[in-house]
Structure 1
Amino acid sequence: MADPILNRHSREDGKPDSTSSESLITQNIDIWTTAIERKSSAGRGTSNKFSLYGIKKLRELILELAVRGKLVPQDVNDEPASVLLKRIAAEKAQQVEEGKIRKPKSLPKISDNEKPFELPPGWAYERIGIFGIVGTGSTPSRSNPAYWEPPEINWVSSGETSDFFVAQTKEKVSNLAIKETNVSIYPTGTLIVAMYGQGKTRGQITELLEPAGTNQACAAISLVDKSVSHKNYVKLFFRKAYFELRKHAAGGAQPNLNVGKIASTVVPIPPIEEQHLIVAKVDELMSLCDALEAQTEASIAAHQTLVETLLNALLLPNTTQPADSQSASPESSFANSLEPALNESFIESWQRIAEYFDTLFTTEASIDTLKQTILQLAVMGKLVPQDPNDEPATKLLERIAAEKAQLIKDGRIKKQKTLPAITDEEKSFELPNGWVYTRLDELCLSVSSGSTPPKSELNETSGIPFLKVYNIQNQVIDFEERTLFVSEGSHLGKLKRSILYPGDVVMNLVGPPLGKIAIIPNTYPEWNCNQNIICFRPLEIRLNLYIYTYLTAQIFLNQIELVGSAGQDFISGTKSRAIVLPFPPLEEQHRIVAKVDELMTLCDQLKARLSDAQTTQLHLTDAIVEQAM
């Protein structure tokens, strides 16, 4: 059977026709699927850190083309929309005369400013309130249980408009509520538009699959023409007009639409035959979008799984004796900068990555995983070669222990409760020669958390900078916008135990997420913090960079026992003191930190180039949409 769309006439007025519009959609699949936008990192949640911007714009474009008459070709033999509207007007007048509906309020003539684009031949602009009947509902008194029990009639709230259809509602009202209140029952097929509500609710549209009443936050649109094509086209228009409707809302903290604004909405109406074809074509293309979305998300997930699998192979225990670190010859500039204490299995694993480096590290998630792997390799002794001439870490620990003992003897620091010996279960991996496992407390002059002073001691402009967890961003201190200061008197008084100095390592104790680490910068000579931050002050300041590197690797989070409640995780001060870390010789610590800095810089350069490429893709997507319009 011939496709009725293909047999229809194309435009001859020089404007983009439906064939070119559809080609624009189908011939740019690569653009739609590769235009990916990074989401804001603000807020909580475990949802994807990206959005499929290209496919989102494609969906918007399809709806826009549909209501402009550019998605399917016009047929000069179609009955004009004006004839359909005349029939609707006659039917509506008949219903008023028969007392089936009230006489609607007069609506103003459509002005030229309300016509956003020129219509194809046979189309017409008209207001919803002219070819439909717009009503609303109400909420029966909650103080009268008889209005809610027994629950007999579906009752739609604005929060139930997110799906294309609504059948059984969360709440129902009684027949008495229908009889005694302003709740009206609307028939199956009525379109329900949310006039106000939280978040994305305002402007959403759904369709009743069963008769129902609504609350006052919903507008109910009953179309005079009951054909499925007409109803689905109007529904399609509201999906397209979602953002424009939201702009028309008025009010303060929660802007509202109203029945008058819904009734006054201007809709481009095609001939009824074309409405049918438009809806069918939109359904077809939205199915294509669904398939592209699923395929793209699956591809991204599979890519990330591959990256994680290959990188995890680098973290496996050594299976052979260390080999000559120059025996590997990775191909990329990044690979050439990696000079770990190599063994044969590590070399093989890294060469697999190096061979496909440019293919593997093409997303922010993959580069972030690479950065985390670098940190883990660093503190496992796999990032730089060991030097047998380095002084073993045990010697440094002995000197630190002797110095701490002297400070305690002199009364300059308090003796802390002795921590238990490190068990085999706490040793995450076999250490290289010259390394030793130790607890953080053994390296530190002090490990202490802060507290919160009275609000009267805090201000936003002057005093001693006071840190909260939100000031630790991307593993550095961010004290540019959300600034808080504590009075010097409080700083030197009740908060004296939590004074912070440049070079101190700080970590959040409350999450999610845990593992937010930073080194106190020298922008201020002294700082302070609240009780959700703990400070590690190494006895030798030159140890701070390695301690920071180990904590940012986040290996310790797999071993530490967390306390949780009300959706939060908490690390106690005692658990923080007891954190076990692999401790290399001091000279190797310096080499590790330098190599990590070098590789992190390269990773940041990779991300910058990726960001530039993604921005180009977004602009290209926007340009294609603009061309289509």
Structure 2
Amino acid sequence: MSLLEQHFDVAFAAPDGIKKLRELILTLAMQGKLVPQDPNDEPASELLRSIELEKELLVKEGKIKDTKTLPPIALIDIPSRLPNLWQWTRIETICEIIVDCPHSTAKFIPDGIICIDTNSFKGGDITYHKLRYVSEETYLDRINRLSPQAGDVIFAREGSVGESVIIPTGMQCCLGQRVMLFRPTKGVLSRYLQLSISNPLFLTRLLSVYKGIGAKHVNVKDMRNALISLPPLAEQHRILAKIDQLMARCDELEKLRIDRSQRLLTVHTAALDRLLTAKDSSEFSTAWSFITQHFGELYSVKENVVELRKTILQLAVMGKLVRQDPNDEPASELLRSIELEKQRLVKEGKIKQSKPSPDINLKEVPYDLSSGWEWANLQDVLALVTDGDHQAPPKSDTGIPFLVIGNLNTGKVSLENCRFVPHDYYESLDWGRKPATNDILYTVTGSYGIPIFIDSDLEFCVQRHVAILKSAKSSPVEYLLHLLKSSYALKYATSVATGIAQKTVPLNGLRKMLIAVPPLAEQGRIVEKIDRLMGMCDRLEESISSGKSKQTDLLNALMPQL
């Protein structure tokens, strides 16, 4: 027992440690290892004799029916050794009544008498907000065999098998579907029975007979015959008191873990906000210094690594990720090169002459740019922003892959379960509707805001819910890909999205997205820095997973020693 208490800290560190610790406490309790035995306690064998006499009296009084003689417990069937005063017995032996629910669906009404089913309880407690009700007529029909009373144990025999609850004092109810009821005898505490039949070790033994069957469920016969460890009545009281004490400690650990995680998230969010809002290099250095000083603690949780990735991208598009070089050719030259390429594509008949983008109002830009950078609309850094064919394409068993959002929502092109269109249909499409190497796809409906870089010469086409960002030779594709993954881009897409049930980012809105364009040389430095920092984030997440795995392995190694 002392070993269990010594390793609460190990359970705290492991990802599912507290959950496993709760399960271990129950397992130890049902094995007679949670509290010391008292040689002065009346042994369970005497308790069983008293229970037998009590049940015989109830049969004579007509309160319960006589049950068939249960088979003796063979030595080979005994799961484990128990303390001297304990006894293995079958559940039916220690219950006055075990009854299944009515095999019919109750007719529910907005208010009335409670009908308990598997939705009515979780974690040993009544889920009052999920209770359902029946009329008095339905209630009387459903208690024909048995009227549930306070102290009865309700057990989920299907679906969430093993969930259980004790009917509280004053609750009038009947049984819904997929549950069974246990009424323990006077020598067995309701809560001891409840915890015994919800114990993971008991459920593992019980459900092992259903191996290979689809939906897990338990029938009444198996529960009647299932073995349960029975301690003296006095020890049952001590066990429950100890369980309450240890579960309270688990509650404290859980709250401590939640508070710690929340504190880390709050501090980290504030630190990143200071980075993003720094007005000069001095403020930026101070903010970054705080993060580096507390790096180990801040990045002990994956949630903070996720936020760090977002901040890296945001700093990149704000010009705060790498140093500027005054010798770099300014972004205005890059934009001129892209415009010349677009004019060439117009002459070749690949795109239409578009209206010049309106002048950008510097009072409306989200932040100031570094020297050499320029604000531009998304359409200004690409050859064309279009989408898939708006007409339903002809279907084909083979041919050219036709991709929908489901083939792209992981951020990569997937041909799994894709549809096909005929070659002649694909050939008839405009140049802009044939994605090619170095183009970017961008989902605009439903799961909108996902950019996908095309790095192969695979021929395919896409549905209308996918935007095609056709690149010019000078388009800053790699930088643009990172920008479209940033929280800035997603926030903009959300602001222009239309619709209620399913949001859609309109092409006109997408074309007007303001893009902070850095000099070409700086783009290379930015992309290199992003790749390096994202690699660091990958290693951080691997380290967190590895550390948690080691803590879990340590906890699993300790459990058999208890």
What TM-score does the superposition give when structure 1 sets the normalisation length? 0.81
Of structures 1 and 2, the one with the larger relative CO (CA 8 A, separation 6+) is: 2
1:166 corresponds to which residue?
126
1:380-418 per-residue CA deviation (whole Å, 9 max, x = no partner) reads 111111111212111221222233234224422124566
The partner residue of 1:555 within 488, 511, 522 is: 488
The partner residue of 2:215 within 251, 254, 272 is: 254
Structure 2 CA distance for aligned equivalents of residues 27 and 150 of structure 1:
50
2:313 corresponds to which residue?
375
**Secondary structure of the equivalent of 1:134?**
strand
Residue identity opposite 1:466 in structure 2:
L
Query: Cα gap change, 1:466/1:458 in structure 2, threshold over 3 Å: closer, same or farther?
Result: farther
Q: Would the aligned equivalents of 2:388 and 2:462 in 1 still touch at CA under 8 Å?
A: yes
Structure 1 CA distance for aligned equivalents of residues 146 and 219 of structure 2:
17
Matches within 5 A, 1:361-400: 361-400=299-338
Structure 2 CA distance for aligned equivalents of residues 243 and 501 of structure 1:
56
Note the C-alpha offset of 1:105. 3.9
1:4-38 per-residue CA deviation (whole Å, 9 max, x = no partner) reads xxxxxxxxxxxxxxxxx2x22222232111112xx
1:428 corresponds to which residue?
366
Moved more, 482-491 or 128-137: 482-491
Note the C-alpha offset of 1:178. 4.5
Moved more, 181-190 or 93-102: 181-190
The partner residue of 1:135 within 95, 99, 122 is: 99
What TM-score does the superposition give when structure 2 sets the normalisation length? 0.90
The partner residue of 2:149 within 159, 183, 187 is: 187
Q: Would the aligned equivalents of 1:183 and 1:214 in 2 still touch at CA under 8 Å?
A: no
Structure 2 CA distance for aligned equivalents of residues 150 and 399 of structure 1:
69
Structure 2 CA distance for aligned equivalents of residues 177 and 611 of structure 1:
53
Query: Cα gap change, 1:396/1:152 in structure 2, threshold over 3 Å: closer, same or farther?
Result: closer
Matches within 5 A, 1:204-215: 204-209=163-168, 210-215=171-176
Q: Would the aligned equivalents of 2:98 and 2:224 in 1 still touch at CA under 8 Å?
A: yes
Query: Cα gap change, 1:485/1:179 in structure 2, threshold over 3 Å: closer, same or farther?
Result: closer
Q: Would the aligned equivalents of 1:236 and 1:279 in 2 still touch at CA under 8 Å?
A: no
Q: Would the aligned equivalents of 1:447 and 1:535 in 2 still touch at CA under 8 Å?
A: yes
1:516-542 per-residue CA deviation (whole Å, 9 max, x = no partner) reads 3331232x5223333443222221265
Note the C-alpha offset of 1:436. 0.9
1:194-220 per-residue CA deviation (whole Å, 9 max, x = no partner) reads 1123xxx22210111213210241101
Q: Would the aligned equivalents of 1:150 and 1:174 in 2 still touch at CA under 8 Å?
A: no
Structure 2 CA distance for aligned equivalents of residues 403 and 467 of structure 1:
30
1:507 corresponds to which residue?
442
The partner residue of 1:62 within 25, 34, 37 is: 25
Structure 1 CA distance for aligned equivalents of residues 207 and 276 of structure 2:
51
Structure 2 CA distance for aligned equivalents of residues 216 and 399 of structure 1:
71
Query: Cα gap change, 1:450/1:103 in structure 2, threshold over 3 Å: closer, same or farther?
Result: farther
The partner residue of 2:423 within 489, 494, 498 is: 489
The partner residue of 1:530 within 460, 463, 472 is: 463
Residue identity opposite 1:187 in structure 2:
Q
**Secondary structure of the equivalent of 1:448?**
strand
Q: Would the aligned equivalents of 2:395 and 2:422 in 1 still touch at CA under 8 Å?
A: no
**Secondary structure of the equivalent of 2:438?**
coil
Unaligned runs of 5+ in 1: 1-20, 37-52, 320-342
The partner residue of 2:116 within 149, 152, 156 is: 156
Structure 2 CA distance for aligned equivalents of residues 379 and 529 of structure 1:
29
1:286-337 per-residue CA deviation (whole Å, 9 max, x = no partner) reads 1100110010111011112111211221111424xxxxxxxxxxxxxxxxxx
1:11 corresponds to which residue?
none
1:86-114 per-residue CA deviation (whole Å, 9 max, x = no partner) reads 11121112212221112234433333443
1:41 corresponds to which residue?
none
1:601 corresponds to which residue?
535
Q: Would the aligned equivalents of 2:413 and 2:452 in 1 still touch at CA under 8 Å?
A: no
Structure 2 CA distance for aligned equivalents of residues 471 and 620 of structure 1:
40
1:357-384 per-residue CA deviation (whole Å, 9 max, x = no partner) reads 2332222222222222111111111111
Q: Would the aligned equivalents of 1:153 and 1:172 in 2 still touch at CA under 8 Å?
A: yes
Structure 2 CA distance for aligned equivalents of residues 393 and 623 of structure 1:
59
% of aligned pairs identical? 30
Matches within 5 A, 1:144-543: 152-166=112-126, 170-180=131-141, 182=144, 184-197=146-159, 201-209=160-168, 210-225=171-186, 230-241=189-200, 243-244=203-204, 245-249=206-210, 253-319=214-280, 343-416=281-354, 421-424=359-362, 426-450=364-388, 457=396, 464=401, 466=403, 468-469=405-406, 471-473=408-410, 476-477=411-412, 479=414, 482-489=416-423, 492=426, 498-511=433-446, 514-522=448-456, 525-540=458-473, 543=476
**Matched residue pairs, number?**
551
Q: Would the aligned equivalents of 1:317 and 1:429 in 2 still touch at CA under 8 Å?
A: no
Q: Would the aligned equivalents of 1:364 and 1:607 in 2 still touch at CA under 8 Å?
A: yes
Unaligned runs of 5+ in 2: none
Structure 2 CA distance for aligned equivalents of residues 545 and 420 of structure 1:
26
Q: Would the aligned equivalents of 2:376 and 2:516 in 1 still touch at CA under 8 Å?
A: yes
